[in-house]
Amino acid sequence: MASRPCFFDLTRDELADLLAGWKMPRYRTDQLLQWVYRHGQADPRQMSNLSEPDRQLLARELTFTRARIVRHQSASDGTQKLLLDWSESALPVAESNNQTECVMIPADDRRTACISSQVGCPVGCRFCASGLGGLDGNLTSGQIVEQVWQLNQLLAPERITHVVFMGMGEPMANFDAVTKAVRTLMAEWATHISGRRITISTVGLPAQMRRLAELQLPITLAISLHAPNDALRRQLIPWAQHVSIAQLVEAGRYYFQRTGREITLEYILLHQVNDQPQHAAELARVARQLRSNVNLIRYNEVAGLAYNRPDDQDVRQFQQILRQAGINCHIRASRGRDISAACGQLRHEHRAATN
């Protein structure tokens, strides 16, 4: 199976070239794209307007879906979470370490997909479940796109309207696959999601942030800051040993200059760690250095990690200090708290239960 081309990895032109090599008429390309992306049908044997020989050839020579759904959780607020296993794919990772998560988050008329870019995570944030086992491998562009497709299957006839790369992994450490996936998600022949409704979140790789700016994709860039000063950030995020907040600010400025897109600063509030008034005042000074807004996120606890959810009073006070300093600041609503909501938590709990 690893040697077979994979549908979701292919652009429209790449698919057209592949089908032409199999002597199929060129219009088969759009028929196939419509079946998979518009109608959600990934079994060529069910594609009724294709000839029987073409259906058989496609079923034999082309891989469509690769993910096996290991667990599906539904929260009381409508959030749905999938634990996907890629064991039968070409992903070069150790056996049994092939699982990633994706989440569908409903809010008013939005249906947001929170998707993963890697299996595990190399960053190792002290408070996060995603990196507890380190990095097992990169997802391909097709595996990234397929997560959105799988969530669309849950939603049908509704569809995903927004995408955030805030699941497992560091997107900028899998740059080529992530940016190819973004182009597919934006494409009219695929999911056709506006770039303005796609957000890539990075812990901070300045060179890759500048590289992303040069692509001129109309997407939002979010920096996972989580601390207002370098000393505290290095305690929470091991990769911060190599990148200062000043370097992130400089790269964020460059991104805004090249794209005109305001930066989002993501800040997870940890009880009595980074959620006090002095931290808010420091964060305001950072945010004022570039065109940005701040998203405050209440921590979702992870079993075995020594961090707690902040008090509501501290969260409101933190926001008030930022707003009084003139910072556009919002508190993100907590979703899916009753279904292992934290990033990587479902995978972590499933592996613990099966080992």
Residues involved in catalysis? 101, 343
DSSP character at residue 230: H
Structure tokens at 180: 């190819």
Q: Report yes or no: 135 and 115 within 8 Å, Cβ to Cβ.
A: no
Placement of tokens 């944030």 in the chain? 125
Element (H, E) at 254: helix 245-259
Pick from 297, 310, 328, 306: which is nearest to 166 by CA? 297
Compute the distance between CA of residue 186 and CA of residue 145 in angstroms, rounded to an integer: 11
Compute the distance between CA of residue 259 and CA of residue 243 in angstroms, rounded to an integer: 23
Pick from 322, 271, 330, 324: which is nearest to 295 by CA? 330
Cα Rg of the chain, angstroms:
21
DSSP character at residue 43: -
Q: Report yes or no: 227 and 236 within 8 Å, Cβ to Cβ.
A: yes
CB-based contacts of 39, cutoff 8 Å, min separation 6: none
Strand partners, 267: 296
Report how far apart the first and last C-alpha atoms of the chain are (Å, whole number): 27
DSSP character at residue 196: G
Q: Report yes or no: 58 and 68 within 8 Å, Cβ to Cβ.
A: no
Which whole-number Å values give the CA distances from 221 to 18, 121, 199, 273, in the listed order? 34, 19, 6, 25
